[in-house]
């Protein structure tokens, strides 16, 4: 990678850190506290929903920063993706896992909103919930899985980010580009 891309890398890394850390803290701390303090499933759901609603704008900013930074890093490293053996595969894996983490995040938020409506004491929310009834027991179980999938997937992204850092070492770049050239021309020693 030629030149410095400190801002792009910082957006990428800080966005991923907030996404991973926020989802893990929410799954462990916020949901656990809501369950302990809430007393009933409905009260616990309202407490958790309130916390997740406050986190949503920060999480959206983190996702935006991560995706913008990731796009910038991909553009800055396009030559390595094309020429260094192993970089295209790890970049593809990172893209697929990012898409899965985004899907899990969106699914968790959708389920959370449905549970929030179903457990709300507000008559307008109750009316909305009646128009779109859900099985809250099933939705809570799915939400628990989705909320744990997000830190698991973003944790994988942290690991792939470390791999990308290792692949950027000069020795790795030279070795990877040599292997790529040898595979393209099998008659070289």
Q: How far apart are CA 155 and CA 53, in angstroms?
A: 23
In a domain? residue 187: no
- Helices and strands counted in the chain (H then E): 8, 0
Task: Tell me the pLDDT tens digit for each residue of 10-30.
Answer: 999 999 999 999 999 999 999
- At 118 the pLDDT is 82
In a domain? residue 120: yes
Task: Tell me the pLDDT tens digit for each residue of 145-158.
Answer: 999 999 999 999 99
In a domain? residue 111: yes
In a domain? residue 188: no
Task: Tell me the pLDDT tens digit for each residue of 81-130.
Answer: 888 878 899 999 999 999 999 999 999 999 998 888 887 777 776 677 67
Q: How far apart are CA 131 and CA 120, in angstroms?
A: 14
- Kindly report the number of other CB atoms within 10 A of residue 167's CB atom: 19
* Token digits of residue 137: 């027991």
Task: Kindly report the backbone phi and psi dihedral angles of residue 22, in degrees, each rounded to the nearest multiple of 5, phi listed first.
Answer: -65, -40
- At 175 the pLDDT is 60
Query: Can you give the pTM of this predicted structure?
Result: 0.82
- At 117 the pLDDT is 82
Q: How many domains does the chain have?
A: 1
In a domain? residue 147: yes
| Lowest-confidence segment of 11-15, 130-134, 167-171 by average pLDDT | 167-171
- At 144 the pLDDT is 92
In a domain? residue 134: yes
* Token digits of residue 32: 């656990």
Task: Tell me the pLDDT tens digit for each residue of 23-62.
Answer: 999 999 999 999 999 888 888 888 999 999 999 999 999 9
> Residue 43: which domain range?
6-181
Query: Is the pLDDT reported for residue 177 higher than 70?
Result: no
- At 86 the pLDDT is 85
In a domain? residue 189: no
In a domain? residue 93: yes
């Amino acid at each position: 990678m030629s030149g410095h891309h400190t801002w792009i890398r910082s957006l990428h890394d800080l966005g991923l850190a907030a996404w991973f850390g926020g989802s893990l803290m929410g799954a462990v701390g916020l949901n656990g506290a809501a369950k302990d303090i809430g007393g009933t499933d409905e009260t616990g759901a309202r407490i958790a929903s309130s916390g997740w609603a406050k986190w949503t704008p920060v999480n959206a900013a983190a996702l935006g920063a991560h995706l913008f930074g990731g796009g910038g890093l991909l553009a800055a490293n396009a030559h390595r993706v094309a020429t260094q053996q192993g970089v295209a595969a790890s970049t593809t894996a990172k893209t697929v896992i990012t898409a899965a983490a985004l899907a899990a995040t969106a699914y968790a938020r959708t389920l959370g909103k449905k549970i929030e409506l179903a457990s709300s004491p507000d008559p307008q929310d109750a009316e909305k919930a009646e128009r779109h009834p859900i099985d809250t027991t099933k939705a809570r179980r799915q939400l628990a899985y989705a909320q744990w999938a997000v830190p698991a997937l973003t944790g994988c992204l942290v690991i792939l980010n470390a791999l990308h850092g290792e692949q950027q070492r000069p020795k790795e770049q030279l070795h990877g580009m040599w292997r790529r050239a040898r595979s393209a021309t099998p008659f070289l020693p």
